[in-house]
Chains A and B, each alone.
Chain A
């Protein structure tokens, strides 16, 4: 190959910088670690931390593994910056003693070196003595780095893309010490690092506590349902025996159908058409307002699908049994449903009552390839309910309030997550300073 025409001139390495370089505001500078305050430094990770690669696979033998021994931390055990060991992935104390060099010490950072990059967590006092797994590496911050700050940097998307572009390994990215050592890291004073890390840790703690609170409220909801929907605990002012009613005597049961999929004119009309995926996508939420697919009125006429008026209970009865939702708009469903239109029962109450019937509903099932509830069995399905409609409504309201409370907490958690994201973006780049 010859001829100047074919040669491609090497692009100047500054090319990207000169064209895409944004204006740097006063008091900030452009560095390998991004735009940072002028009084921050950029250091190579190798200058502020030491490294140790996890032990060889062959250093651990099958016989070393025990349940509930010394936990071994592999990338799969580092989740959202936390070290989460499993009981099966642990070795005996004797085996761990032989691998003393690889045991974790307070304030080490464990980082995964295979697979997903950026999985890393700080070793707390409770984790001290655990073992760095074959798939992990230990980063030991020197006094120039605050471990929690460094951990935030190492799990940031900027660092992850730097690692990915310089790492070796074809099927799985494999991180080595050289790559790590060369990473540019922004370094405020240790004091400032600490302040930033503390602010972020507090948000994390809040998120974690919100998770626990939500879990607790869900448990409480379950406990409340077990009490209120069985009549074991009665709301004040209500008495009288509950009565057993056939489902068909308190609600009209309508099934669904599927228009021929080969006729395009039956599809993409304006009638919502519900499939089990729509219900599972709700993740336990109560109301279904829209569906993924729609059919036309011609499609409706051609099939056994029926319009279910708003406020009915849409319930899966094939393969996935007993998943329920209340539809907020009139819609149709496919044949994997039996839908309950309340005739002489409070709809919300019936919804809650059906959500705790899954085990009983499965008992009703027949069907060859998958479980399915027949119309006949469902008609005769007996439910114990209060005769007094006011009591039904009172129970439904109590449970709805719990649901609304949980939903509000869910939203608060989502908002806090977004807030954390924003705080990270501002604080780690020094765009907002805490000092």
Chain B
């Protein structure tokens, strides 16, 4: 049984969290992450037989040896001296400071408390559930991801001050992807650098984009975090990445000799960074006016705001064709004084290729909205030519694309993809993105202020009311057909009529006033009129045909996936194909469709794909055993039936036992009907003098007893009749229940026994056609439904808004008012 990704993560998290006690999450994480690290390297490199393992595990210092220490009174000391120390001694890249002190009574407790805590911790990682040795999906790097998952959770937990070491992976991915590197333009010599690398996740995302082992270098101020980064590199199979500790601004570690200039900052092909936001202490330990690395020649950033200091460091670290991406708070776009001067120089230099505004509240520990500055030294001159329309900075305001996740916001798959696509293709998207000409930025009106709302208006167009129509009736054609030239421009429903021109004519007819229209169908039949219209059917067919084409192409791809396959490559391939397929679809947003696939992947398909990659196309039912939580048998395992994750029972039943299923459903309907008759009978006669009044409880025994009592009693004939009716129904009910139970058990057995009979092709059909693709087809159908729903909603809204003109309403109020007065007079009231 392969490890289910989602289960692996959450089980580690849950067990560790339970053990934490009073310790601060930010300290406890070091212990947990170390355990994960040692487990991983033990599994992967302990029996390494190749030449020069990336990590050397000395004899006696593996996870197996740790298990031996469980329960020993000096366990903490032994871990320090017998496991960690030999590891550090044998591996030049690891330092003692990377690891937490396992003999620290302040954190882990005294004596027995410490022994218990550490022993349980080891036991968690020893659990067969977490047996990584069998995990073959190396390419997908389950462990590296688990490591990130834990860091993310710890970041969430740690709160404000300590959350800064972690950049959400969605944001890291955008950074890596807008740099424009890939397997085609990278080699092992390609270099990437992160001057404030934290745990190194940003660098790893860049490496993942490159798709090969490029050279990674990073510097991190915090000792423990630098240690984390080193372990993270090893876990992600980049044991040669170079992570150094120190303050990047005051004491940069990556330098090289540059002829007569002496020692200068080393320069790289790619630089990424998520520096601390508005660092107040950035200038500690350096003299900005006389910087040996000439970083501040455009100006010295304000003492209390370090954002530009880091940005300038990044720019200095790029080689002559280097590309960079830096996450900074929005303030860098508009703040004045010294920063305005630097910003002006930056724009003039042409190094700034783009600005991407992100939603607020994405980062741990702060709610402020951030943006990504994309830098590119290549072709810099072309970006800052006055008078050239093609010269400028590409801006995206993506502040509105996110989903709420707890108390944070998170970017969805579609948001990431939309940002990256738009940026790479430099698309002009109203209310979202455009290329802003250099002259517009340099204009006196803007004066190099880059605040995104100045250039991209993201506000929704206002819904305009029409006075004439409110007084005379009729729906303004402006609202139906749109008025792009109006002030303000009105989009109307023009996009729909482009695809469904005949529907426009079917839904509306001319009003006697020019410029206004009336609804040609009844308000309640708008939806039906849309759904039944030929053009809508055609639109629907177009969309479904697109899906079917995609399905045909990708069924093959999905069925060809097999043992040792790469799930991430698979989802990338079919996802991109889906996105491309639906770009052609009218009225549908291809990113919405894509999101359905990605959601389904995260929920279900991903686990299936990992299972297939690990075990092949094998579907076997397994017993579900659950530990008894209470009672005499507490701790024992209870059999709760069987389950199969890859092909759950309903799919087997639907394909092979539809007849039995239908029978069962029929019986169930019958049972429901009988049950409701019974309840109705009970309700009807449960009053004070009803037929059931004499019974303590309405059940089989009581009713039988009562029937015996009143047998032959003429006064109780009515009661007896009801009770007999009840008995008959009750009998039918229990008979049905029995039948259902039997049939259900038979069906359960049939389904269970079907699994061994399944051929590989059967399994593929069940998983790919019945399960995966059917779920996606439903999602596409829902999107189509949404199109008709949105259109119906707006048409109805407009029709209702102008249905009754004001004079009619006023008249009606007067009429009714007079009638009420009449009633009041009849009631004998008089008034002056």
Contacts and interface: CB of A to CB of B under 8 A. Distances in A.
Contacts of B683: 53, 176-178
A55 B810 CA distance: 43
Interface residues of B, number: 50
A227 B467 contact: yes
A366 B804 CA distance: 43
Contacts of A302: none
Contact of B672 (A59, A432, A434): A59
A67 B530 CA distance: 14
Contacts of A366: 330
A128 to B, nearest CB: 14
A220 to B, nearest CB: 5
How would you classify the secondary structure of chain A's contact residues: helix, strand, loop or mixed? Answer: helix
A369 interface: yes
A390 interface: no
A203 interface: yes
B801 A202 contact: no
A199 interface: yes
Given A181-B687, A206-B816, A216-B806, A58 B672 contact: yes
B451 to A, nearest CB: 10
A202 B672 contact: no
Main secondary structure of the interface of B (DSSP, over half): helix
Interface in A190-232: 199, 202-203, 205-206, 209-210, 212-213, 216-217, 219-220, 222-224, 226-227, 230, 232
A280 interface: no
Contacts of B687: 178, 181-182
B426 interface: no
A426 interface: yes
Given A205-B816, A232-B487, A67 B823 contact: no
A56 interface: yes
A363 interface: yes
A220 B806 contact: yes
Contacts of B804: 212, 216
B366 interface: yes
B470 A53 contact: no
A432 B828 contact: yes
B417 to A, nearest CB: 26
B76 to A, nearest CB: 41
A153 interface: no
A239 interface: no
A363 B459 contact: yes
Nearest to A222: B465
B527 A199 contact: no
Contacts of B809: 209, 212-213, 216
Contacts of A416: 820
A89 to B, nearest CB: 15
Contact of A360 (B459, B466, B487): B459
B709 interface: no
Given A178-B686, A178-B687, A178-B690, A68 B527 contact: yes
Contacts of A222: 465
B467 A202 contact: no
* Residue from B457, B690, B817 whose CB has the most chain A CB atoms within 10 Å: B817
A423 interface: yes
B686 A203 contact: no
Interface in B679-694: 679-680, 683-684, 686-688, 690
A205 B820 CA distance: 10
A205 to B, nearest CB: 5
Contacts of B801: 219
B545 interface: no
9 contacts: A176-B683, A206-B819, A209-B812, A220-B465, A360-B459, A363-B458, A364-B453, A419-B820, A426-B827
Interface of B: 330, 360, 366-368, 453, 457-460, 462, 464-467, 470-471, 487, 527-528, 672-673, 675-676, 679-680, 683-684, 686-688, 690, 785, 789, 801, 804, 806, 809-810, 812-813, 816-817, 819-820, 823-824, 826-828
- A-B pairs with the 9 shortest C-beta distances? A223-B465, A178-B687, A206-B816, A199-B823, A368-B367, A368-B368, A56-B676, A213-B809, A359-B459
